[in-house]
Structures are given as C-alpha cells and as structure tokens.
Amino acid sequence: MGRFPDGFLWGGAISANQIEGAWDVDGKGVSVPDVCTAGSHKVDKRITPTLEPDTFYPSHEACDFYHRYREDIAMLAEMGFKALRLSIAWTRVFPTGEEAEPNELGLAFYDRVFDCCREHGIESIVTLSHYEMPYALASKYNGWAGRELIACFERFCACVFERYRGKVRYWLTLNEMNTGIGRGGAVLNLSTVRGYEGPINGLPDNPAERFQALHHMLVAAARVTALAHERYPEYRIGCMSSFALMYPYTCDPDDAVLVQQRMHVANWFCSDVQVRGYYPSYMRRHFAEKGIEVAMEPDDAETLARGTVDFVTFSYYMSVCLSAHPEKLETTGGNFAFGAKNPYLKTSDWGWQVDPVGLRWSLNAIWDRYQKPVMLVENGLGAYDTVEEDGSIHDPYRIEYLRQHIEQMAEAVADGVDLMGYTSWGPIDLVSASTGEFAKRYGFIYVDRHDDGTGTFERSRKDSFYWYQRVIETNGEDL
C-alpha cells in the first residue's frame, strides 16, 4: 500500500443551494437560501422574506449546475474523481416540505445526476440537507425550532432513500450540524455569518431556541439513520461536523480548560450524540450555566440510541487560538470559530488561518475518540483568481494549500487513522455560504460568474485542475 489505501475516495464536495441555480424551475419551492441576498467579507447577507426587485440573490442562478451537470461531471471525471459529495435540495422534492406527494420532476433531476456520476464511475456521497430547508417550513414552524420539522425531514429522507436505492450508498444527515450552536445556524439551518454568539442578519437571538432546534435536528438525524439501517442494509450513514480546531493561546492551564470546554460544545457535542447515541455529560453543565432548558419527548433518548452512524465526516479549513485573557490579543476567525491570532500561521484573503498540521491533529483526535472510519468531506482555500488574457488561470496558492493538507492527511493515515476519502470543497467554483460571493473561489474549475450578476457560466480549467488530476492518478503519491 502507498500512503493512501487502495480504493481511497478522492473527489470534491458541492451543495445544491450553492451550485444548482434553477431556483424556481420544474416545481422547486423556495428555500431559505433563495431569500438570502448576497453579502461580502464586510457586509452581512440579509434574509428578505419578500424578494426585493433590484436585489441580487446568488442562489437563484448560482452556477447553473442544474442545466450543466453533464458537462460538470464529465470534467470531474476527467480529473479522475472517484467520489462526488453533493446534496439534494429539499425543496425540489417537497417544495413547501408538507406536500402529500413528492415532486416527480425534482426527483428525476437527481436520478439524472446520480446516473451520470455512475456512468463516470463516480460514487455519489449525498448530504440529505446542506444549509437549506423549505422557506415555508422556516416561516410556519420557526424552522428547526418546531418539532414538526422532524416528521417533515423523515418523510423527505424516506422518499429519497427509497428512490435512489442502487444509485447512492453513502449518505450524510445534515451538513455541519454543530454550527447550529451559533446564531441562525440551527433554527434556519444556515451557515452562521459571524459565528458563535455573534450577530447574524439582525435575527433575534435566543440560545435556548438554538439548542431546541439542534435537539430536533439530532432526533431527526437519528430517526432517518435508524430507518436507513432497518430498510437498506447496504446503506452507510455518516454524521457531518465542522471541525474548527482550537489551541490554547498559552500554556496557562486556564487557556487549556477554556479550549476543552469550547471544543466540547462547538466541535464534539453533535458528533458525540450521533456516534455514541446519547447526550454527553458536559452538556448538562453547559445548559445549567447558560440557563438553557431543552424540551425532550420521552422516547427521544431511545431514538438517539438507535440511530448511531456508521462513519464520521467533517470539514476542516482552519484553526484559532483561545485565551482566558483575550482582551489585548488580535482576533481572527472563519465561518464558525473565532479567537486569537496564531503567530505561527498565515491567513487567507478572507482571514481564515491556514493550518495543515492542525488537520493531522484533528484526524487523530476524531479517530481516537470514535474508532469509526473517517472521511474529510470539505477542505480548501477560498481565494481570488485572475483569468489571464489567454484564458489560463494560475492558482499556485490553491495547489499549495491542498498539497500541504494532503501531506498531513498522509501523516494521519501513517498514524493509523482509518481515512476513507477526501472530498475537497467546491471543485467547481460556487457561491460562498458565508458571504454569498462568487469572488471567493475554491474550484479546480473556474465558472465565469460574478458578484454583479454578470458572466456566461462558462467553465474552464485552472492549473490546479491538472495538479489534482495527477494527485488522484497516483493515489496521492505525486503531490
């Protein structure tokens, strides 16, 4: 064996609302991202319950994957992809979340996509819901804060599990569920914009409601995991968390304890429940100290215990430092974790600290804790790209970021981590979850689409395209 196991799932990850577009085509309903305006690094996205006539909504056309998926998947196959992580838009299947019958045109679209992947020998790894939900459910039940969402989600999942049998084997429940501890994250299942305890889109904040919403998500995820195990023994179900590594800023024991506590709640809580089947004991203290009471039904504990996952997946982009005395420190952060700047690390154009060695640490920590197969399903560098006059795009910064992270992945495999695969984020440029920008690009494939709504949607290959092709061809030997 080389540095990576045979059959390693090399590929990339995308999400429906960030790439598909066609937001009101073929019976699709309005989802929460469809009412989110564009923002930027400095300006928050806004949610507008009624669409404003002269406002740009990036998800409406996104990157037009809905109409271009064949071309896109063929290009991914040209890179040698073994796996594509993608999500199903809930609103294509159940436009308001509560229809008696699913929308056949929506279901048929994913038949075509999964079939196309199979024709190219690409395994589909499907996130059931990735930072979206029907807007109708958000407004009627206050999103996941309403217990009704559990039954709606279960019906949606039961429908797609049955429909795509034989086409999909790997399923992830809800994307980065743990970001739900931050404002807006759980109730509306949106990527948080300003992180833990921070403001998002002017939404009123209610920590008890957030954890109530998270509880409903955890119960819903457990119910569909158990359902898949009962009906479809060949299915493998994974949880998905955002792993933003935190370091103690100094060797002050108070810094270390702060990190332990913050990592418990932010990084471990959701996967602990999904892997072990019960609430971890540290949450009792967290709830007590924050005055949070989560309403649970009598059979929720049994549901959580029955619905444990088969493998663990996570995203990894960056790390931060935490200090018990942060007053005088320069701060930094990403979508989710915020803290003190690490003097040993550089940051991306969006201020995310780049920390490849932290990935090795994280992989080991996850494996040590759970002893379940692990998959890294998001990782990458959001950066500005320049198209040269001859159309070429040179992105050595992206290659360098990915090379360093894959090297550390190899170290983790050598450490003994059972790593199943790697799907880098956004192999095709797509809309940024946090800012709604197109300018923040992750792709090997450039999409001619811009923040002012212009562009032809044409695709072209960046230098990193050929680099990643070689990485896959050599199973990670030639970096």
* Among 79-87, 201-209, 226-234, 425-433, the segment contacting ligand BG6 (CB under 6 A): 425-433
CB of 328 to ligand BG6, least distance (A): 29
For position 433 contacting ligand BG6 by CB under 6 A, the verdict is: yes
Measured from the CB atom, is 192 or 212 closer to ligand BG6? 192
Subset of 5-24 contacting ligand BG6 (CB under 6 A): 15, 18
Measured from the CB atom, is 131 or 141 closer to ligand BG6? 131
Over the chain, what HEC string results? CCCCCCCCEEEEECCHHHHCCCCCCCCCCCEHHHHECCCCCCCCCCECCCCCCCCCCCCCCCCCHHHHHHHHHHHHHHCCCCEEEEECCHHHHCCCCCCCCCCHHHHHHHHHHHHHHHHCCCEEEEEEECCCCEHHHHHHHCHHHCCHHHHHHHHHHHHHHHHCCCCCCEEEEECCHHHHHCCCCCCCCCCCCCCCCCCCCCCCCCHHHHHHHHHHHHHHHHHHHHHHHHHCCCCEEEEEEECCEEEECCCCHHHHHHHHHHHHHHHHHHHHHHHHCCCCCHHHHHHHHHCCCCCCCCCHHHHHHHCCCCEEEEECCCEEEECCCHHHCCEEECCCCEEECCCCCEECCCCCEECHHHHHHHHHHHHHHHCCCEEEEECCCCECCCECCCCCECCHHHHHHHHHHHHHHHHHHHHCCCEEEEEEECCECCCCCCCCCCCCECCCEEECCCCCCCCCCCEEECHHHHHHHHHHHCCCCCC
For position 131 contacting ligand BG6 by CB under 6 A, the verdict is: yes
Binding mask 291-330 for ligand BG6 (x = CB under 6 A): ------------------------x---------------
For position 176 contacting ligand BG6 by CB under 6 A, the verdict is: yes
CB of 330 to ligand BG6, least distance (A): 21
Measured from the CB atom, is 176 or 300 closer to ligand BG6? 176
The residues annotated as belonging to the active site are 176, 378
Binding mask 369-388 for ligand BG6 (x = CB under 6 A): ---------x---x------
266 near 245, Cβ under 8 Å?
no
Measured from the CB atom, is 4 or 425 closer to ligand BG6? 425
Measured from the CB atom, is 191 or 353 closer to ligand BG6? 191
For position 127 contacting ligand BG6 by CB under 6 A, the verdict is: no
* Among 63-71, 293-301, 367-375, 433-441, the segment contacting ligand BG6 (CB under 6 A): 433-441
Binding mask 325-364 for ligand BG6 (x = CB under 6 A): ----------x-----------------------------
Alpha carbon separation from 451 to 36, 39, 407 (Å, rounded): 14, 9, 34
Measured from the CB atom, is 175 or 408 closer to ligand BG6? 175
Binding mask 434-463 for ligand BG6 (x = CB under 6 A): xx----x-----------------------
* Among 300-308, 416-424, 428-436, 465-473, the segment contacting ligand BG6 (CB under 6 A): 428-436
Query: Tokens 């649970």 label which residue?
Result: 296
Using CB positions, name the residue nearest to ligand BG6: 434
For position 255 contacting ligand BG6 by CB under 6 A, the verdict is: no
221 near 177, Cβ under 8 Å?
yes
Site for ligand BG6 (CB under 6 A): which residue of 37, 91, 129, 191? 191
CB of 442 to ligand BG6, least distance (A): 7
Subset of 30-49 contacting ligand BG6 (CB under 6 A): none
* Among 37-45, 109-117, 263-271, 431-439, the segment contacting ligand BG6 (CB under 6 A): 431-439
Contact positions vs ligand BG6 (CB under 6 A): 15, 18, 131, 175-176, 191, 242, 315, 335, 378, 382, 425, 432-435, 440
